[in-house]
Structure 1
């Protein structure tokens, strides 16, 4: 893995995808590469706990699958969501039924966890592109103020905090989380 700095040169999506993968991941937006910040402790903790919790609820009944750091190519852009959840029938697969390595579609539910040095507006722009493509639900999780900004297609965003229940995909009715519960995972006391 190599690190690259943001570039101003216009590239095609195919040229970007042919480049070696980087750490942290690069995203391809409007002909430019933007590097995601390297996850830190809070981000990493929330990402693994959310992904695990979603999968524990969704996988046994083959309802959905939560993927962490999965690159999705959508409408000429290439994003790496912190968590991308696909309903079972929309999981990108090869003809033999294995998970596809290249994903050329949007997740049904995306979760982005804001890092301290990350621009909220850039992340919201990525969420909006995915919602326009077909994503049903998106969360922007902000560990600093312990809030979750919830986006749904063609609706105003909603701010959730403390004991507010967080909406999930309709096919996951048994998955119940509050914002307070999610942020309690950051405390090891």
Structure 2
């Protein structure tokens, strides 16, 4: 979840708007952005190039997706999504957590998921920190998640090997290696030793 440039790459052919006149992006326009290897979030009318996350970042997110996703699928609790999805916030921003979960109660009546973006925030949002992330950036995302219906946020810090747990814009708990990451009422029954997120390679 790296902090990225406030402008898209010049070669993409995308234009920027004056700060006083932010562009209002439609879902169709956002989805039609060039498939040039870049991932974008839309924040206050500006495209934020999320760049490349790095191998360790991707490994942690993928491992959590495998373990949590397997539990969610087995118990038919809802759906898991990776960072390629964008969630539409009430203020028009499009946010893409590294890992996210949407409970089945919010998907009743659907046989297939939307091809576009999901209206509202996920029930669980997971952000894996990168060295370039700022406190302000992460706080803004957590505030938006909370304001749009997210019930649980996990912020994973690979370098310091801890997880911050949020139910509101202020963290409730700091989990160390000896602790367990719990799904609580959002993903009932799920538990994972924090140490498993940061295991060294053994092969």
TM-score, normalized by length of structure 2?
A: 0.80
1:33–1:157 distance in 2 versus 1, CA, 3 Å: farther
- Structure 1 residue 89 displacement after superposition: 2.3
- Structure 1 residue 53 displacement after superposition: 0.8
Q: Is the 8 A contact 1:142 1:148 kept in 2?
A: yes
DSSP-derived class of the 1:177 partner = strand
Structure 2 spans left out of the alignment, 5+ residues? 1-6, 11-15
Given the alignment of the two structures, is residue 61 of structure 1 paired with residue 75 of structure 2, yes or no?
Answer: yes
- Structure 1 residue 169 displacement after superposition: 4.1
What is the match of residue 160 of structure 2? Answer: 145
Taking the aligned partners of 1:24 and 1:116, their CA distance within structure 2 comes to 19
What is the match of residue 123 of structure 1? Answer: 138
1:8–1:40 distance in 2 versus 1, CA, 3 Å: farther
What is the total number of aligned residue pairs between the two structures?
A: 183
Taking the aligned partners of 1:164 and 1:83, their CA distance within structure 2 comes to 20
Taking the aligned partners of 1:110 and 1:151, their CA distance within structure 2 comes to 10
Q: Is the 8 A contact 2:151 2:186 kept in 1?
A: no
Taking the aligned partners of 1:83 and 1:18, their CA distance within structure 2 comes to 19
1:163–1:50 distance in 2 versus 1, CA, 3 Å: same
- Structure 1 residue 96 displacement after superposition: 6.0
- Structure 1 residue 178 displacement after superposition: 2.4
Given the alignment of the two structures, is residue 52 of structure 1 paired with residue 66 of structure 2, yes or no?
Answer: yes
What is the match of residue 72 of structure 1? Answer: 87
Task: From the CA coordinates, give the structure whose radius of gyration is larger.
Answer: 2
* 1:46-70 CA distance string (max 9 Å, x none): 1111111111111122112211011
Taking the aligned partners of 2:155 and 2:194, their CA distance within structure 1 comes to 12
Q: Is the 8 A contact 2:87 2:121 kept in 1?
A: yes
DSSP-derived class of the 1:58 partner = helix
What is the match of residue 43 of structure 2? Answer: 29
TM-score, normalized by length of structure 1?
A: 0.85
* 1:80-123 CA distance string (max 9 Å, x none): 111110111224x8x76111122122100000111122224212
What is the match of residue 166 of structure 1? Answer: 181
